[in-house]
Structure 1
Amino acid sequence: MLAKRHPAMVDSIAGAVTVKSLDLYYVVASDAQIPLKGEHGFGLYFHDCRFLGGYRMALAGLAPIVLASTAQKGYAALFELTNPDLQTDQGQSIPKDELGIRWERILDAGQTCVREVMTIQNFGHEAHSFPLTLHFRARFEDIFNVRGLVQQDLGRPERAAWREGRLHFVHHGADRLRRTATIAFSPLPDATHETTAEFRIHVPPGDTQTIAITIELNECSEEAEANHLNQQPTVALDGLAGNLQAGSEEWLERHTKLDSDSLLLNGIMDRSLRDLAMLRSDLGSREYFAAGVPWFVALFGRDSLIVALEMLAFLPEIAAQTLRLLAGYQGRRADRWREEQPGKILHELRVGELAGAGNVPHARFYGTVDATPLFLMLLSRHAAWTGDLGLFRELQEPVERALGWIAKAGDDHGDGYLKYRSPSEKGLVNQGWKDSADAIVRADGSIARPPIALVEAQGYVFAAKHAIADLYERIGERNRARELRGEAEKLRTRFNRDFWCEDLDTFALALEARGRPVAVVSSNPGHALWTGIADRGKGRRTVRRLMQDDMFNGWGVRTLSTAERRYNPVGYHLGTVWPHDNALLAAGCRRYGEDDAALRIFTAIAEAAMHFRHSRLPEAMAGFPRKDFQVPVHYPVACHPQAWAAGAVPFLVTTCLGLEPDAFANMLRIVQPRLPDFVNRVALRGLRVGEASADLEFRRTDGGAEVNIRKTSGQLTVEVRG
């Protein structure tokens, strides 16, 4: 049963080193190892399958000592290791730190393989001889098994076998796919034992010895010809690394460029863009951002839509591809197993063995309440940045189907709210962005009863209807535009009456069965403020409530107040701090004139980032107060990199600079620009609005920022307000 979406029921991966290229990704411990035993998330993954779940290197039977590790480039990892005190079988002693071991790993997604080079250097004055062993484990576990959500071992594994110096693992899946992992070495091992390769290393003083390893993964139908590894291990990775680096830089070059006087902001922005370059995946010819490594390397409707929206000022093209991709998977029929309904936008698409065999519904799963209005919101925002009505015309039929689904979804009492209730025992109990089973809780700590109308989902519907109305107006369908605006305004009136909790100074988290408010203080109303559905006075009161100490922990706003019965600083949605949640909340603050709160959030999130490896914002942080530890506490199994976390700071920049495009009018409005205290100057180069672009410079002043329009190209008017 998949009643919850906790990321995993496994040991912490907070210190993991992750690399990814397209659908191939590697998650290893900071010492370069993958444990051979235990419930952990480390491994080599492809297409929702952990092909390699154990990989241990030993020197004379002992683990090496890690000195440094990095995966800053995204597609490659580098480890510097050394030896503990060693005693060989021949009685030789090798003092600690006399061996240097440089272990390079590069993902070659084009060949679906990992290429590794291990260089052992002798820094001592005597020759050293010792055994080096590599132990492997491959069980071809489905991602749902790894996460502990399903306990099913499907398919039939073959016994691992050595042939011509290569180690072969084979698994015959219940989905009629054969998965293989083939490991080749150069030089060949001196000895092999079951799934272990042994090398007898001899290194003269000052000299080096190198071992090259290639791990090739293959997935094909049972009827297809077996595909044997045809790539020879190579001791030089420079050519492959150069090609991958060039491809990464070419992709980054297409973005709007940001430069500032803040090394912190520059570092976070560079990391964010490189993480999103890592998270690119494709289906057919459509590119999208996978949600996060290691648990959610897949197409997720909500996640992929939100990060595409966050990145519109920097890379608008991926939004159009994401919209077309999701329109292609839009629900066409009623299917309780998959929670598919006509017009509904996909939640999750998986391609692993359990999904392919039909044991979980995720080969095409629709258990989300908010992806459909977010689809409409992204379509409208993309049009505002690009001035392109062609995409709207192309997707007009999916748009109408989406609006039709919204009109019917969960509205069994005629109150006009978008609600959810899972019809399947294997579905998600909760279907907003806080989709763990215990996320929607009452003040007494008990679980809210469906059907549930989330506060933010109503805001998404309000914004979606207004946004699509504007597009209908532009193509001359004024009656449809008027109808949608009328529906949105009626929703606004009901919302401010039914969701407002006067005694809490904020909106309820949700309405549960029989329309009862789930009256707890949570971050969800911040999303509603972003959409503009709240009355102005109530919106401003909400901001002030969310910035109190029980919600704002110094690194951002918590998902749930410390005063609530179910608060838990490491509860997935019950007290953690999420960067994307805060970025949308900050946009809500700006919308209601609470600029100082938005800047305070921006500063907190940025300062949190500098405490994580490579300034990489994780999916979530623990909710402990900043004053207690002075550093953000890792959420143990958070995805890193994670797409909408990577998009959080680019969106905060867009929000606080007040960038409001109207490409249809060849206009960029800059409304009340503000910079946080840690930044005095920001320059944007190549900011695209429609077919035109602008180079802009912002300098912080008392109470605002002055704007210097350095250059425009094409037909573009830049108007500064406030």
Structure 2
Amino acid sequence: MLSRRQFLTLVPFLASLPQWSPVLSPGGPASRSYGRQVLNRPQDATSVIAATFENAIVLKNGDLFLITDANGTMPIKEKHGFGLYYQDCRVLNGFEMRLSGHSPLLIAASAPSGTMARLTFTNPETQGPDGRLIPSETLAIQLHRLIDDDPPSIHELLRFQNLGKRPVEFSVSLSFLPSFEDVLAVRGFPQHLGNLLAPMWDGGLLHVLYEGKDSLFRGLTIIFDPVPNSTDGTNASFDMELAPRATRELRVSQFVNFSPHRQKAATTVSKPDDFSRMASGLTRTSETWMASITRVESDSFALDKVLTRALHDLRLLQTRIDDLTFYAAGTPWFVTLFGRDSVIAALQTLAFDPSVAEQTLRLLAKYQGRRYDAWRDEEPGRILHELRTGELARLGLVPYSPYYGTVDATPLFLILLGRHAAWTGSLSLFEELRGAVERAVEWIEMSQDRHGHGYLAYESRSPLPLGNQGWKDSGNAIVNADGSLVAPPIALSEVQGYVYQAKRQIAGLYDRVGETVRAGQLRRKADELRARFNRDFWLADKGFYALALQVDGTSSSVISSNPGQALWGGIVSADKAGQTVERLMARDMFSGWGVRTLSDRERSYDPLGYHVGTVWPHDNSLIAAGCRRYGFDQAASRILSGLFDAAMHFNSNRLPELFAGISRENYEGPVSYPAANPPQAWAAGAIPYLLETMLGLVPQGLDHRLRIVQPLLPPFLNELEVHKLRIGGAEADLRFIRASEDTVRVEIMKVEGRLDILVEERR
């Protein structure tokens, strides 16, 4: 896998790209967007990000998470996005360890579960305080780090061993840089609000307190055991003397405490728990969760590794608000509730753990729009886009408390509710959320009528809006063939597919509760939308669908990935599906690793452009499901194989949020996107969802039935088992065995509960 520097060296035509920034800078169509837009930044704001997350180590537990570079540090004199974060606040933005003034040398690092990390270092050649030279590789240094959520804390056990044949003396310095910055300020939004108070030492305890302008005190307490030999500001130093083969340990614990009361935020924390006991507890918790979800085993060790990584990442991203669990969109920028992202990740994982979908739906219904508020783009019935809890949001300086500027979260909310019922076989959640469902449908239909063409479109009313309100939400994402921006109101092709599927899904639930008239109305409107869509969005000269329709009704005729998600929605007519799939899989769209967001023939194409040429795993997972929906199995298999191969090249076998659209023919591995979030929920959900899709699992839990429709195995698999698959209150164990190149045999190993399994094998 190539780094950005290697890539720029090998591809000269990209060497002139401006410095990438994860925040959209002003400037109109010519501006590049290298990250999800937060706000239209003030002209004098500058990007603070100067490092990538490609090899970052991420630990998370609840609301607390730590993201460091590959050495487990956060460089103090550099601008970056690494840090210790809690509730939309970067508590700590710097941590470094020095051995007699030198950085230790990393040998190995591992963080398999996402709650613990192990790093091994040695020393460079250095001179001790006694003046004697310590040869390189004399010391073995183990750093075992874990993260806890009760209370929110980071615990580190450092073990130093002298591997040499003579005694050594050296110093260990630990430097911390507390910042207490709002996460939006880290990304470039100005923040000159509260007061960072002077650090206070009390023996082996360091207290740092930030007095927020929002009347919240944010505190960090660091406990050292043993007590430092000397301190300076937020630096601690320890004198070490080690006999040959001798070992010495150093324990550091960091406690985060936010409170409206100053004394409580600065309260001295009791002595940390036994480190081994905490580590064992985290291991048991992780193992218990993995045992509670659907388990997949295959004859491919590589697939098992990729899937396990994805599932651990999904567990890592589970976060709670109001005692309800959801998938946070991704670290470090989006550890919060995102309507679209959280819903899609829950959709992707219904076959593994439907409980997160249920809680996500309840949470989104709780925050559903109730009034008209232009500042936050709120409207009655609309599902939120983003909920922030940091200082800027609490003070009302940004509209994210919550912000509703998303066009697709509302139909996706309805789709998830329908899919959840199909998997669980229960209508109780539909009954519980009936009011939210009706308000969501009313908002969709009101919005469809607003612009006179019958499509769900967007145009922000907020003075600080997102540039675009579909999943491609950067300011330069939705373009015309000449490179100009599509003019709002904008009706995206995939959003119409969402609306079509949402109405069909909810109609089915209304039928189940005896409201057949309402069900019929929704189906009729869905069918009318489908007919209009296939008339107005189809580009006959290109044999493909338009990316979007704009204010004057003209179409954006670029070739993009969006119609692939329209396939997933089911709105594409059968006679046009073949051309659509063929176009998606052509060389200018399919890179060999996945489908690009934009054809490499388009004027706006940029292989490192956030939404105009890169490859997104979640996008591809939905496109593959759309291909399967219309019977184009080979295309779906190519997408799965491409993403799987890509995952094998990335650090820890983790699919990133996105990667460059460079063709597979050019390099041995996929080219990284510098600012991709590691991990990202819907990227982690891509492989689990692709497996569900390829196995042909069609749940009909309300009828106590599972259909397995023309199951497929990707080329690198011959056998796969699924255990504890839950449908409608029952559980099933299944085995899939390759019988021939394009035929898979299904064995029903075990069924517990009432469940009919119908296997529809390829003939």
Q: Does 1:145 align with 2:185?
A: yes
Contact 1:410 1:421 in 2 (8 A): no
Paired residue secondary structure (1:363): coil
Counterpart pick for 1:377 among 406, 410, 415: 415
Per-residue deviation, residues 624-678 of structure 1 (Å, max 9, x unmatched): 1112111111111111111111111111011111111111211111111111100
Among all aligned residue pairs of Structure 1 and Structure 2, give the percentage whose two residues are the same amino acid: 49
Indicate the residue corresponding to 2:317 in structure 1.
Answer: 279
Q: Can you give the 5+ residue segments of structure 1 that lack an aligned partner in the other structure?
A: none
Distance 1:627 1:189, change over 3 A: same
Deviations 1:40-97 (A, max 9, x none): 0111111011100001111111111111111112101111011111023431100011
What is the aligned partner in structure 2 of residue 229 from structure 1? 268
Give how far 1:210 is off: 1.0
Cα distance change on mapping 1:151 and 1:32 into 2, 3 Å: same
Distance 1:598 1:568 in 2: 25
Alignment partner of 2:592 out of 554, 571, 574: 554
State the partner residue of 1:621. 659
- Deviation of 1:227 after TM superposition, in Å, equals 4.0
Amino acid at match of 1:408: M
Aligned partner of 1:721 in structure 2 is 760
1:226–1:13 CA distance, 2 compared to 1 (3 A): closer
Query: Residues 122-167 of structure 1, C-alpha deviation per residue, up to 9 Å, x if partnerless?
Result: 100111101111111111111101122x122211111223222322
What is the rounded CA distance, in whole Å, between the counterparts of 1:358 and 1:413 in structure 2?
A: 30
Q: Distance in 2 between matches of 1:169 and 1:445?
A: 50
Partner Cα separation in structure 2 for residue 203 and residue 554 of structure 1: 54
Q: Hey, what does 1:90 align to over in structure 2?
A: 130
- Counterpart in 1 of 2:246? 207
Question: 1:117 is aligned with what amino acid?
Answer: L
SS in 1 for 2:480: coil
Compute the displacement of 1:13 (Å): 1.5
Query: Does the aligned pair in 2 maintain the 1:622–1:632 contact within 8 Å?
Result: yes
| Residues in 2 aligned to 1:140 and 1:675: alpha-carbon distance in whole angstroms | 49
Contact 2:736-2:744 at 8 Å conserved across structures = yes
Q: 1:319-358 counterparts in 2 under 5 A?
A: 319-358=357-396
After TM superposition, list the pairs within 5 Å mapping 1:384-395 onto structure 2.
Answer: 384-395=422-433
Match of 2:234 in 1: 195
* Partners of 1:5 and 1:95 in 2: CA distance: 44
CA–CA separation in structure 2 for the residues paired with 1:116 and 1:495? 57
For the residue of structure 1 that corresponds to 2:698, the secondary structure is strand
Could you tell me how far apart the structure 1 residues matched to 2:264 and 2:252 are? 24
One of 113, 117, 136 as aligned partner of 2:153: 113
Aligned residue for 1:604?
642
- Residue identity matched to 2:148: D
Match of 1:60 in 2: 100
> In the TM superposition, what are the counterparts of 1:654-669 in structure 2 within 5 Å?
654-669=692-707
Q: Indicate which of 240, 246, 264 corresponds to 2:302.
A: 264
AA aligned to 1:328 is K
How far is 1:441 from its partner? 1.1
2:141 pairs with 1:101:
yes
Q: Confirm or deny that 1:51 pairs with 2:91.
A: yes
- Per-residue CA deviation, residues 472-505 of structure 1 (Å, 9 max, x unaligned), is 1111111101110110011001100111112222
**Deviation (angstroms), 1:233:** 4.8
Task: Name 2:35's counterpart in structure 1.
Answer: 6
Q: Deviations over 1:13-37 (max 9, x none)?
A: 2111111111110001111211102
Supply the AA of the counterpart residue of 1:145: A
Question: What is the alpha-carbon distance in structure 2 between the residues aligned to residue 449 and residue 107 of structure 1?
Answer: 47
The alignment partner of 1:660 has SS state of strand
Cα RMSD (Å): 1.4
Q: Distance in 2 between matches of 1:7 and 1:23?
A: 21
The partner residue of 2:215 within 169, 176, 186 is 176
1:607-628 deviations in Å (ceiling 9; x for gaps): 1111122211111111111121
Tell me, in whole angstroms, the C-alpha distance in 2 between the residues paired with 1:86 and 1:238: 32
Distance 1:317 1:412 in 2: 36
Opposite residue 604 of structure 1, the aligned amino acid is: G
> Structure 1's 215 and 223: CA in aligned 2 closer, same or farther, altered over 3 A?
closer
Superposed displacement of residue 223, structure 1: 6.1
The offset of 1:112, in angstroms, is 0.8
Map 1:387-426; keep pairs closer than 5 Å.
387-409=425-447, 411-426=449-464
Match of 1:123 among 155, 158, 163: 163
Deviation, 1:547, is 0.6
Residue 70 of structure 1 pairs with residue 110 of structure 2: yes
Matching residue within 521, 524, 527 for 1:483 = 521
| Post-superposition offset of 1:425 | 2.2
Question: Is 1:469 the counterpart of 2:507 in the alignment?
Answer: yes
Q: Which SS does the other structure have where 2:145 is aligned?
A: strand
Q: Give the 5 Å matches for 1:693-704.
A: 693-700=731-738, 701-704=740-743
Offset of 1:410 from its aligned partner?
Answer: 5.9
Partner of 1:672: 710
Give the counterpart of 1:362 among 371, 390, 400: 400
Which residue identity lines up with residue 74 of structure 1 in the other structure?
A: G
Normalising by structure 2, report the TM-score: 0.93
Superposed displacement of residue 226, structure 1: 4.2
Verify the 8 A CA contact 2:209 2:265 in the aligned structure 1.
no
Work out the CA distance in 2 between the residues paired with 1:669 and 1:448: 42
| Alignment CA distance shift 1:139-1:223 (3 Å) | closer
Residue 185 of structure 1: aligned partner: 224
Give the residue type in structure 1 aligned to 2:177.
R
CA deviation digits over 1:302-360, x for unaligned, max 9?
A: 11111111111111111111111110000000011111100000111111111111111
* 2:174 is equivalent to residue 134 of structure 1: yes
Aligned to 1:513, the other structure's residue is in SS state coil
Distance change (3 Å), C-alpha of 1:417 and 1:613: same
Gaps of 5+ in 2: 1-22, 27-32, 38-46
Tell me which amino acid in the other structure corresponds to 1:127: P
Does the Cα contact within 8 Å between 2:54 and 2:651 map onto a contact in 1? no
Q: Shift of residue 5 of structure 1?
A: 8.9
Tell me if structure 2 keeps the 8 A contact 1:5–1:435. no
> Residues 285-296 of structure 1 correspond to what in structure 2 (within 5 A)?
285-296=323-334
Question: Does the 8 A contact of 1:684 with 1:696 survive in 2?
Answer: yes
Query: In the TM superposition, what whole-angstrom CA distance separates every residue of 1:251-298 from its partner, at most 9, and x where no partner exists?
Result: 121111111111121111111111111111111221111111111100
**Which deviates more from structure 2 when the two are superposed, residues 4-13 or residues 381-390?**
4-13
Q: Distance in 2 between matches of 1:430 and 1:683?
A: 42
* Kept in 2: contact 1:421–1:429 (CA 8 A): no
The 1:89/1:223 distance shift into structure 2, 3 A limit, reads closer
Deviates more, 1:274-283 or 1:698-707: 698-707
Paired position in structure 1 for 2:473: 435
The alignment partner of 1:84 has SS state of coil
> How much does 1:539 deviate?
1.5
Pair 1:584 & 2:617 matched: no
The amino acid across from 1:50 in the alignment is R
TM-score scaled by length of structure 1: 0.98
Question: 3-state SS of the aligned residue for 1:215?
Answer: strand
2:270 matches 1:241: no
- 1:217 is the counterpart of 2:256: yes
Matched-pair contact (CA < 8 Å) for 2:599–2:605: yes
Contact 1:7 1:638 in 2 (8 A): no
Deviation digits for residues 166-186 of structure 1, max 9, x if unmatched? 222111112110001111101
- Closer/same/farther in 2, CA of residues 709 and 225 from structure 1, 3 Å limit: closer
Check the 8 A contact 1:411/1:419 in 2, yes or no.
Answer: no
